[in-house]
Amino acid sequence: MKKLLILLLTVWVGVACGGASTIKGVEFARVAGRPLLLDLYVPEKGASGPLVVYMHGGAWRAGTRAEMPLGALVGKGFAVASVDYRLSTEAQFPAQVHDIKAAIRYLRVHAVEHGIDASVIVIAGSSAGAHLAALVGVSNGGRELEGAVGAERSASSDVQGILSLFGASNLESILGQSSEHGRSVRVPALGLLLGGQPDGKRELARLASPVAHVDANDPPLLLIHGDADPQMPFEQSVELERAYKAAKLPVQFEVIHGGKHGGAEFHDAQRSALMEEFLRSIRARGGR
């Protein structure tokens, strides 16, 4: 009865441009009485899979699930869940990863009642959200970052693909690679996320670095980054690509020459088609 009431109380809003419906404010967990919510974008003709679970950016300290730029993928028949996680102003790392893994477990358990297929999941994100997405993906099967958020703890939080848009991958090297402007954003952001700077929080910074977790069991990865990004060093994606290649894992790196920190070119027809092709390749693999 409780599940039915939650479903009935969910607000359905039509998305005019995508031929989809949006399920707003789905509660996937509670932490100390504070609800954690996600929005589901479900194609009206049914989703073909995989499910895309998206994390917004905002230097880990800002942004909301309403910032969901993957409407073109919804229009192509892919369901997208846009997830809110506790920001660093509320909780330090690894709370953010614990929240996202709880959302994945929830989606797997409650997929049928929301009209989606969550058997195969691709984790995606932009900027700080891409860092979290990559970290969730490369920690598949590990207990160190699993956490104990949410009620569906017996379900799997593994994902079958990673889509990273101009994200961080190595918090131990990021400041050395940053421009003056980048450091002005990153230093206070890292202070909130880690409770200090990486050189004083080395163990935590390494735990928070996707490159430190890459192994032979990690899922396929698509990186998209602008080589003129003034805020998130381009070298961060280079490092993650290098780690994937060293582990002989499937990785594709789309460089946007002259690209800055986000912008319309990351979601134009060319890049949207690239993302669609990546998702369809994950589906063809059957999640393996």
Q: Is 92 helix (H, G, I), strand (E, B) or coil?
A: coil
On the question of a cis peptide bond just before residue 43, with omega within 30 degrees of 0, the verdict is no
Q: Which residues pair with 226 in a beta bridge?
A: 256
Q: What is residue 287's predicted lDDT score, i.e. its pLDDT?
A: 55
For the ranges 7-16, 76-85, 254-263, which has the lowest average pLDDT? 7-16
What is the mean pLDDT of the segment spanning 262-274?
96
Q: Please write the tens of the pLDDT for every residue from 46-79.
A: 777 899 999 999 999 999 999 999 999 999 999 9
Distance CA 190, CA 23 (A): 33
What is the mean pLDDT of the segment spanning 229-251?
97
Q: Which residues contact 263 (CB under 8 A, 6 or more apart)?
A: 226
pLDDT at residue 274 is higher than 90: yes
pLDDT at residue 10 is higher than 70: no
Q: What is residue 18's predicted lDDT score, i.e. its pLDDT?
A: 52
What is the mean pLDDT of the segment spanning 175-186?
93
User: Which among 123, 109, 121, 103 has a CA at the least distance from the CA of 54?
Assistant: 123
User: Which among 115, 110, 117, 137 has a CA at the least distance from the CA of 54?
Assistant: 137
pLDDT at residue 11 is higher than 60: no
Task: Provide the pLDDT confidence category of residue 288 given band limits of 50, 70 and 90.
Answer: low
What is the mean pLDDT of the segment spanning 243-266?
96
Q: What is residue 49's predicted lDDT score, i.e. its pLDDT?
A: 82
Q: What is residue 213's predicted lDDT score, i.e. its pLDDT?
A: 97
Alpha helices in the chain (DSSP H): 2-9, 71-75, 95-109, 128-138, 174-177, 180-194, 202-207, 234-246, 269-285
What is the mean pLDDT of the segment spanning 250-270?
96
What is the mean pLDDT of the segment spanning 190-219?
97
pLDDT at residue 13 is higher than 90: no
Task: Provide the pLDDT confidence category of residue 285 given band limits of 50, 70 and 90.
Answer: confident
For 3-24, b/e burial (b = at least 16 CB within 10 A) is: eeeeeeeeeeeebeebebbbbe
pLDDT at residue 170 is higher than 80: yes
Distance CA 239, CA 251 (A): 12
For the ranges 16-20, 30-34, 116-120, 187-191, which has the lowest average pLDDT? 16-20
Mutual angle of helices 128-138 and 95-109, in 10-degree steps: 70
pLDDT at residue 8 is higher than 70: no
Q: Where are the beta strands (DSSP E) in 32-135?
A: 34-43, 51-55, 80-83, 121-126
User: Which among 100, 149, 135, 141 has a CA at the least distance from the CA of 206?
Assistant: 135
User: Where are the domains positioned within the chain?
Assistant: 11-285
The topology (CATH level 3) of 11-285 is Rossmann fold (3.40.50)
One-character DSSP codes across 167-223:
----TTTHHHH--HHHHHHHHHHHHHHHSS-GGGSHHHHHHT-GGGT--TTPPPEEE
Q: What is residue 19's predicted lDDT score, i.e. its pLDDT?
A: 65
